[in-house]
Structure 1
């Protein structure tokens, strides 16, 4: 919970089946891709390399197949394009929330599974079979991707365009989360959070969902917040309810013996109060 990548509200996905460097910012990539990654980083856009599950061919880079996603509004979108080179993709349009001229809007979500072995072996060991399994159920919607953040949570699943992160996914859990997202909903189990907002606010959204049972992707958002030391107070819109949520950090050490299992910060619920009365029926137990 509350561990989705904070600085990821704009996304650039570049299809590349060749070898991935451990860090994209090193720009150890074919010239066209390296330049596109550099331009994205300069504009605060999150670049990711992607490839179809199971493919490891080393092909010469000609046209660039890209996906862009904009999650900085209440109505996120994503678009697909094929460009000859970096100059043909208007990343400034993406920053402005406008679909680049070289791209066409997508009407289906995309699912990313981190399989970046050079960054962390666990991501490949656990992520590769999950990506292949998920792709069998959702052909053409699933991609392997480079590092998304949170190696300790492998296997990681990202649902775009909203930037919903899940971690520690099994094949069954990933399929359930993907199907829920396709229906416009989230599942709280293994939900890491929504990318692009500070971690305390991700935690506030999570606690608001858990309290109300609200599963709709777009129905929950932080409207305002303030911090006093380590304590964060947020006003969360949850459907037609406004909820005051107060959280504070809490240390946690995962029960894992790998190098990626250092103590991490999660969040504890201090208080939660509804600000407007509303009739609510507690969901029946499964």
Structure 2
């Protein structure tokens, strides 16, 4: 059985860079920036490469189109190892991953008119849904989008659901095929990549306890990539692992350089990051590149400095 996230293993037929699925290449600061609000729709499939090409029931298609127009990220989901054949309405989950108190809610609706997506963008739980107290874990298994997601993600989803049976879902493309197997933790929108079974269990257990695991953490969705990097470096520097323990308070961009004021571990830090390119052998008598971020400076800001020189 092909599995990702184990150093030295390869995926048959994979066209990604060597080390893409093993954890040998950096994954930090690569979470999907546009995913701030979510609409999860249970639909067993089949899933085409792109949602707009899927043969979906009319009500589901309408929901996908409405969500997209509002800036809500639509995802198709299904339970690992089994398919829902009951025709009792449309099972949906909606999530707001923004701010310090994100939430996820669930409902079964008769049709698209029963789900108020405008309220999701406004930060309000729709009347047709109820808040979910347990986290939700998404594993990308979207084979038609990229074969690696199914080859690596599907075994991971099936093993993870045995441990967390009511919280794990297969999902359509979440962004970042070369990071397969991808794991998304909602409602915060935490992305992990190049996951093995052991790494996924550790990440899920940590999230259920309100913490993150830095190994293979891609970042938090909805956050610009340089700011994901700034938060990551503060976590490394301070050892702060609580989900809400690190946050960017302000930032500014100067060319390729990003300067951010980051709160972490009851202190504030001025962090400067810049993009960097790594050249890696591609196995075809050539070389390929991967873009990530490097830390330029990280300095603690004293209270007087913070009060008088906060970034804008």
Q: Do Structure 1 and Structure 2 share a fold, with TM-score over 0.5?
A: yes
Partner Cα distance (1:240, 1:46) in 2: 33
**1:72 has 2:107 as partner:** no
**1:164 has 2:171 as partner:** no
Equivalent residue for 2:42, pick from 6, 9, 15: 15
Kindly state the Cα deviation for residue 21 of structure 1 after the two structures are TM-superposed: 1.5
Deviations along 1:207-233, whole A, 9 cap, x unmatched?
000000000001111000001100000
1:254/1:76 CA distance change after superposition, 3 Å: farther
Please list, as runs of the form range in 1=range in 2, the aligned pairs for 1:1-286 lying within 5 A after superposition. 1-26=28-53, 28-56=55-83, 59=85, 63-253=89-279, 263-276=289-302
Whether the aligned pair in 1 keeps the contact of 2:281 and 2:288 (CA below 8 Å) is no
1:253/1:15 CA distance change after superposition, 3 Å: farther
Deviations along 1:228-261, whole A, 9 cap, x unmatched?
1000000001131101110000113466669xx9
Whether the aligned pair in 2 keeps the contact of 1:21 and 1:29 (CA below 8 Å) is no
Q: Greater shift after overlay, 83-92 or 62-71?
A: 62-71
Partner Cα distance (1:62, 1:273) in 2: 56
The higher relative CO (CA closer than 8 Å, separation ≥ 6) is in: 2
Q: Report how many residues are paired.
A: 274
Please report the TM-score for the alignment, with normalisation by the length of structure 2.
Answer: 0.84
Partner Cα distance (2:87, 2:281) in 1: 42
SS at match of 2:244: helix
Partner Cα distance (2:56, 2:281) in 1: 36
Kindly state the Cα deviation for residue 27 of structure 1 after the two structures are TM-superposed: 5.4
1:183/1:171 CA distance change after superposition, 3 Å: same
Runs of 4+ in structure 1 deviating by more than 6 angstroms, as ranges, are none
Q: Which 5+ residue runs of structure 1 have no aligned equivalent?
A: 278-286
Whether the aligned pair in 2 keeps the contact of 1:205 and 1:220 (CA below 8 Å) is yes
Whether the aligned pair in 2 keeps the contact of 1:30 and 1:61 (CA below 8 Å) is no
SS at match of 1:244: strand
Please report the TM-score for the alignment, with normalisation by the length of structure 1.
Answer: 0.92
